[in-house]
Chains A and B, each alone.
Chain A
Amino acid sequence: MSKQILIADDSESIREILTFILQNAGYQVLQACDGNDALKYFDGRPIDLLLTDYHMPHLNGLELTVKVRQIDHYKYIPILVLTTESQNEKIKEAKDSGATGWLTKPFNSEKLLNTLRKVIR
């Protein structure tokens, strides 16, 4: 069984390109357009990794992370936050919310997959 990754990003093009890269790398991909939409996927189905944008309307990446960490079944899944902020402050904020790691935009497919490999196999 290949691993299933949930992408939460309000930009369709980002979702598309992430999906393209991830599927080519052998992962299964689910897409959500914001935090609230993403939460709907946490219904018991297997999700091995959440890849969420930082800034999203309705529920941002950090709020989403906090919520996911409260759902028993998904409590300990790895979560990567996509951000353009490489400042320590933002990263600390993400980590404090419970994120496993982060990925700074812009990134290429190599960087994405390398980062993914830190938290999922």
Chain B
Amino acid sequence: MISFVEKFKDEVGEYFERLESGLLLLEHDPDNQKVIDEIFRIMHSLKGSGGMFGFDLISEVTHDLESLYDLFRSKTQKVDSEVITFTLNSIDSLKKLMVQEPTSDHRIMAEQMIAETQQQIARITNSKYIPGSHILLLPNSSDQPAANQTTYFISFVPGENILINGTNPLYLVDELNALGECNIQVSFDNLPHLSQIDPLKCYVSWTLFIATVENIETLHDVFIFVADNAQVQIEKVSSENVISNENVLAGFLNAKFNNEHWIPNEADVLVSEKNGKKLELDEKAEAELLLKSSADSINKTFFAQTSVDSIRVDSRKIDQYMNLVSELITTQSRMELISSRHKFPELEQLTETFEKLIIQLRDNAFYMSLIPIQSVSVRFKRLIHDLSKLLDKEVELVTEGMETEVDKNIIEKLMEPLLHIIRNSMDHGIENRTIRLAKQKEPVGKITIKALLIGSYVQIEIEDDGAGLDRDRIYEKALSSGILSDQDKMSDEEIYQLIFESGFSTSTLLTDVSGRGVGLDVVRKRIQEMRGSIKISTEKDRFTRFTVNLPLSLSIIDGLLTTIGESYFVIPSSVIRKIYTVKHELLIKDFRKEVELDGFQLPYINLHEVFESEKQVPEDQFVVVVSYGIQLFGLVVDEVLREYQAVIKPLGSMLKGQDVFSGASILGTGQLALVIDTKKLIQKYS
């Protein structure tokens, strides 16, 4: 610092010399504007620098000298010899005042100089000199006791052109943030559409609360440079720090919004007062509501106050919701494709988040449309009750697993087939009391309905303890109706399944109950339409059991997208256990169609062969290990691409015969992927 002071002293010495020579010049040429300008500038510099280097008296005194020469500079007044003499004397005094720690003598001298300068100004401008208008005070200690924090509200709306002169409004917000504890809100309300944004304009504004020890002037000072180009509003919210008291802040904003006058108050008083006011309002509003409202709106308020755990939604709305989610998934897979093509990191990140959300949305929609089978079991009971009367058979219904949840659409479609099976059991299966007693069975017949979840399938069993199927009669009937020829060798199991063939009825008498046009062939068809399966097993005089297997959801599944040749196939994730890579050579060598993986012999199906792809088989293939009942099976595909959410669309009539596919799904590229029903595929090709 010393070196700067020394430099400044040198500079001041130079100034004095220039002032003296300039003044002497003026004596002969009082109109020399250049000289006047220079004198003015020197006075100005002395004023500014003096204070900076600690020569406060110089600064004070030259302030008025500068004002004096400003009069001549603006050519309103002429320099006369009295002014020149006065200035020269002043310079001598200034030299004496070049001290950093002035004594009282120095102060008196400075006071006198200021008074004299002001007299000169008064003389030149022909105005009256008022003594004592300039009093030099000893510098005050500016230390104030640490004040309590006060909370202010600040609204800062920069003008659109604020950026033009180099202002960065963010710095001002930063500056506020440094002054105290802030709660800052940015408003983008005025932001135009991207195409209309002018990068030179400022469209954002800020509102904030600040709790600070600084006074309101300091806060205003923050905006001192932008006062002409921004709307700045500073209001006191509370004389305490209420920055984290949302009630008060909200109350303030509310009052502001309603143009009410806000009285800053102590925080605690404020809150209670505010609450009291709010309560009053509520009561008033309620009274008004009661007065003018119809019964309907009273009901609404009543319901609004009760907490609601569940709501009833029109099932069509849920269907619509599911459809939209399906559409969304298809669209999302297109977006993912575009994103993977363009490789914008931001887009990719967004797509990923999007995908996660959609999966959640899908699951959510899925669970929303599940209902327990329980909800329809009353219809089973009712049917059995009615039929027992009609057929004079005593039957007891036993249910298990009725809490199992199934897609509402599946249950709806399943109802008719299930009721038909029950009718069948009541009509043909369960014997009447006399026969049962003769067979030494319980006099009361029993129908058991069981539901359970197996993976992504729901299994429903309907079992009666009736007469069972008569194998020989079915066989004869099949022969006579031409469904079978006598060369066909069939296991008993296979023969039983014949009752699902169309035009098959062993009952010689058509009864009112089951002979209503809907035969078991229709039951099977309905279930297959839902990608399900039905099977019958029986034992004479013991039981007949129908087993229905259905996918949990009709429309969307998680799958693995694979390729075989140039076609895409989806294998449902629910059945996949593991995936291996194998050399193609290893597979062709083995004619038993088994491959050793992890030390286990695994039967496999090479889909490349099954689907007769003409394309070259790649050297490395993938074995997708799927579960098939309790067994494991390998499905060999050419390539495994990725996980894929398949929105399943029904197959057109062209592929109707291909029951190894449960449906088709459109990929993001618009290409088709067939969804493999692994169960049927294995049955067919193993």
Which chain A residues have a beta carbon within 8 Å of chain B's beta carbons?
Answer: 10-14, 16-17, 20, 54-57, 69, 76-79, 82-84, 92, 95, 98-102, 105-108, 117-121
CA separation between A108 and B4, bound complex, in Å?
13
Quote the shortest CB–CB distance from B80 to chain A (angstroms).
24
CB-based nearest A residue for B3: A16
Asked whether, in the complex, the Cβ of A13 is within 8 Å of the Cβ of B4, the reply is yes
Asked whether, in the complex, the Cβ of A13 is within 8 Å of the Cβ of B8, the reply is yes
CA separation between A95 and B165, bound complex, in Å?
8
Write 20 A-B pairs (CB below 8 A) sorted by A numbering: A12-B11, A13-B4, A13-B7, A13-B11, A13-B49, A17-B52, A57-B41, A78-B165, A78-B166, A78-B168, A84-B44, A84-B48, A95-B228, A105-B49, A107-B52, A108-B52, A117-B171, A119-B168, A119-B171, A121-B174
Asked whether, in the complex, the Cβ of A119 is within 8 Å of the Cβ of B167, the reply is yes
Chain B residues with CB under 8 Å of A20's CB are 4
Asked whether, in the complex, the Cβ of B225 is within 8 Å of the Cβ of A101, the reply is yes
Asked whether, in the complex, the Cβ of A98 is within 8 Å of the Cβ of B165, the reply is yes
Query: Interface 1/0s, chain B 51-69, versus A by CB < 8 A?
Result: 1110000010001001000
Quote the shortest CB–CB distance from B54 to chain A (angstroms).
9
Quote the shortest CB–CB distance from A62 to chain B (angstroms).
13
Which chain B residues have a beta carbon within 8 Å of chain A's beta carbons?
Answer: 4, 7-8, 10-11, 38, 40-41, 44-45, 47-53, 59, 63, 66, 163-168, 171-172, 174-175, 200, 222, 224-225, 228
One of B41, B53, B166 near A17 (C-beta < 8 A): B53
Asked whether, in the complex, the Cβ of A76 is within 8 Å of the Cβ of B48, the reply is no
One of A57, A78, A82 near B48 (C-beta < 8 A): A82
New contact pairs (6) apart from A79-B165, A120-B171, CB-CB < 8 Å: A13-B11, A14-B49, A54-B44, A76-B200, A79-B166, A119-B167
Chain A residues with CB under 8 Å of B222's CB are 118
A119-B44 contact, Cβ under 8 Å, with A79-B165, A106-B51: no
Asked whether, in the complex, the Cβ of B166 is within 8 Å of the Cβ of A11, the reply is no
Quote the shortest CB–CB distance from A119 to chain B (angstroms).
6
Asked whether, in the complex, the Cβ of B44 is within 8 Å of the Cβ of A55, the reply is yes
A100-B225 contact, Cβ under 8 Å, with A11-B49, A106-B50: yes
Asked whether, in the complex, the Cβ of B44 is within 8 Å of the Cβ of A17, the reply is no
Asked whether, in the complex, the Cβ of A118 is within 8 Å of the Cβ of B175, the reply is yes
CB-based nearest A residue for B63: A84
CA separation between A12 and B224, bound complex, in Å?
29
Chain A residues with CB under 8 Å of B168's CB are 78, 119, 121
Chain B residues with CB under 8 Å of A92's CB are 228
A76-B166 contact, Cβ under 8 Å, with A13-B53, A118-B175: yes
Chain A residues with CB under 8 Å of B52's CB are 14, 17, 105-108
Chain B residues with CB under 8 Å of A76's CB are 163-166, 200
One of B10, B44, B224 near A101 (C-beta < 8 A): B224
A99-B165 contact, Cβ under 8 Å, with A16-B4, A118-B175: yes
Quote the shortest CB–CB distance from B602 to chain A (angstroms).
64
CA separation between A20 and B11, bound complex, in Å?
17
Chain B residues with CB under 8 Å of A13's CB are 4, 7-8, 10-11, 49, 53
Asked whether, in the complex, the Cβ of B41 is within 8 Å of the Cβ of A14, the reply is no
CA separation between A105 and B56, bound complex, in Å?
12
Asked whether, in the complex, the Cβ of A119 is within 8 Å of the Cβ of B166, the reply is yes
CB-CB nearest 4 A-B residue pairs: A106-B51, A105-B48, A78-B166, A101-B225
One of B11, B40, B163, B165 near A11 (C-beta < 8 A): B11
Chain A residues with CB under 8 Å of B11's CB are 11-13
Asked whether, in the complex, the Cβ of A55 is within 8 Å of the Cβ of B4, the reply is no
Chain A residues with CB under 8 Å of B224's CB are 101
Asked whether, in the complex, the Cβ of B48 is within 8 Å of the Cβ of A106, the reply is yes
Chain B residues with CB under 8 Å of A83's CB are 48
CA separation between A69 and B41, bound complex, in Å?
25
Asked whether, in the complex, the Cβ of B225 is within 8 Å of the Cβ of A119, the reply is yes
Quote the shortest CB–CB distance from B292 to chain A (angstroms).
55
One of A14, A100, A107 near B166 (C-beta < 8 A): A100
CB-based nearest A residue for B37: A57
Chain A residues with CB under 8 Å of B171's CB are 117-121
